[in-house]
Amino acid sequence: MRHAILLFLLLLTTSLFPAASPAAELRYGTHFPETSLSLPDSTPQKNYLGIDNPAHFTLSQVGGDIVLVEFLNVHCPHCQMQAPSYNELFKLIEASQDGKGRVKMLGIAVGNLPQEVEAFRTAQQVQFPVVADTDFTIWRSIDGEATPYTVYVRQTRAGQAGIVAGSHLGLNTHYEALLAELLKLADTSPDTMLAAAVQATEKQDLIAKHFSQDELEYRVRNAFVATGGGIRDFAKLTLRSGRQVYAAQMQTGENQRTLFAEVVSRQSVCDICHDVLFIYIFDLQGQIYGFESLQLTKYGNVNWTSQEIATMRGKLLGKSLLQKHHYNPQVDAISSATITSAIIFDSLNQGKALLEELHEKGF
């Protein structure tokens, strides 16, 4: 009974959190490796992929606008549990006027033999192609760490590597929301993705100047705890926008709730002022629960006092990201920190778009 409860909790948390991406550099906007793959023997699978003759192929040869690439191992319990949801996703795609032909699915079985792959497809009734990566060749090319790991690749043109448009580590049972996300990616031009990737990298580089990833996660965890309760599960999310967001399942007594934290890193509009860095905590309804400073300065680049941080926190807690906050420097600014205060309010006014992105991810 105890093992059954633990398994249920594991499934619950993996469906709640699209977990942090692996160490691989398959970030949004990077190119998916053009590693050679063995073409399935099945004619229907070849036709589905849009490849006729070669015994080997690369991902750029696959037809469609967006390809869902699922890295799996046939002996991995979570990969086996993932199969029913992805079977349903495949059915939805093929039944969709917008999805059929434009959205493709391809499984890559890491460390498995072809005969193991076919036994898996038969047992799990998998209809989309699954090819064997017996020698871990493509797995090494993405520096993969764990399965199931799914990558969404926006195709460009035949012979040119596709663009990584998103990823998901772990189980994903929200197949209807995933289809909506894939269709949106299919409608987004590769050039738009590349431009957004540049902005995302700039955001990540700005915060990296001040904090290592471990230091940042320590500060984020403390910000979650400051809202009350303990952390049961914690994950960094991978978002196309590049916004640095974490999810935590919080527990207070018998009560549980899911909260999110965005790490905001903005350059000041004043050329002699320090960067503006802070964390705010919110829920899926957009209510703000916490606010913590990472670097907030005022005139002379003097750090805010704890009282000034508490004052700003009092102005923000309870507000909604769904409502535009009209900044009034006479009322809302911290003394001698008018620019920094304006940037904080402007950042929170971008919260509605973040909520929409989280809903796209299945939250």
Q: Render pLDDT for 69-107 as a digit per residue (tens, 0 to 9).
A: 999 999 999 999 999 999 999 999 999 999 999 999 999
* Verdict on whether the full-model pTM lies above 0.85: no
Per-residue pLDDT tens for 170-201? 888 889 989 998 999 999 888 888 877 776 66
CA distances 114 to 73, 126, 144, 196, Å, are 12, 14, 20, 38
Domain 13-188, architecture per CATH: 3-Layer(aba) Sandwich (3.40)
Give start-end residues of each CATH 3.40.30.10 domain in the chain.
13-188
CA 234/CA 249 separation, integer angstroms:
7
Among 166, 160, 163, 168, smallest CA distance to 22 is for 168
Among 70, 102, 356, smallest CA distance to 241 is for 356
CA distances 89 to 37, 134, 178, 259, Å, are 23, 26, 8, 28
Confidence of residue 29 (pLDDT cuts 50, 70, 90): confident
* 27 φ/ψ sector (left φ>0, alpha ψ -120 to 50, else beta): beta
Q: Say what the pLDDT of residue 202 is.
A: 67
CA distances 296 to 184, 265, 275, 343, Å, are 37, 11, 8, 10
**Residue 287 DSSP symbol:** B
Q: How many CB atoms lie within 10 A of CB 292?
A: 20
Per-residue pLDDT tens for 44-67? 888 899 887 778 899 999 989 999
Q: Which two tokens stand for residue 68?
A: 């869902």
